[in-house]
Amino acid sequence: MLYLWILRGSVSPFSYKSFLGGGVIQRAMGLDLGSRTIGVAISDPLGFTAQGYTVLKRTNTEGDLSALGEIITNHAIETVVLGYPKNMNNSLGPQARDTLLFAGSLQESTSCKVVLWDERLTTKAAEAILIGNGMRRGKRRQVIDMVAATLILQGYLDSQTLSSESRSQEG
């Protein structure tokens, strides 16, 4: 994306930091929280693209937070985007309430900003991507949460890029 903006002349190669909001480059991590696993994705250093990182087996809240804390430290993560599983009618079910509790624990245990991101249909979209790429069912089960986390994080990153573009055009 940055390459295209440079070619269009709207951002010089030396001012991309100002385009991103005052020189602050934030690396983000996306999470797809399940009952047995946590899909993890991280952004590139400029915060433009999301890449699948791993799938963690859940143990308990303390163990999960410890494993995530290690990733946060190793990759200098500043923002955690946690998939928020709302029902299709916008109501909150048991999974959403569990996610809220986990978000609070994550916020307390790290110095990261925690963002809840609507994850409706991301697992379905992830499965469609994996099927479209010819992945067998057994392998899909191993990576689907990571792909869903990637979709969650990419949605968030795209929204931040669009917000930055709107602010730069207004000013």
pLDDT at residue 142, as a whole number: 86
Write out the E strands in the chain.
27-33, 37-43, 50-57, 77-84, 113-118
pTM for this entry? 0.78
Q: How far apart are CA 46 and CA 94, in angstroms?
A: 35
Q: At what angle do helices 137-170 and 122-132 cross, to 10 degrees?
A: 120
Residue numbers in the chain where pLDDT is lower than 50: 1-23
Out of 3.40.50.2000, 2.170.190.11, 3.30.420.140, 1.10.8.50, the CATH code matching 23-170 is 3.30.420.140
**pLDDT for 80-107, tens place per residue?**
999 999 888 888 888 899 999 999 999 9
pLDDT at residue 130, as a whole number: 84
pLDDT at residue 63, as a whole number: 97
- Domain ranges across the chain: 23-170
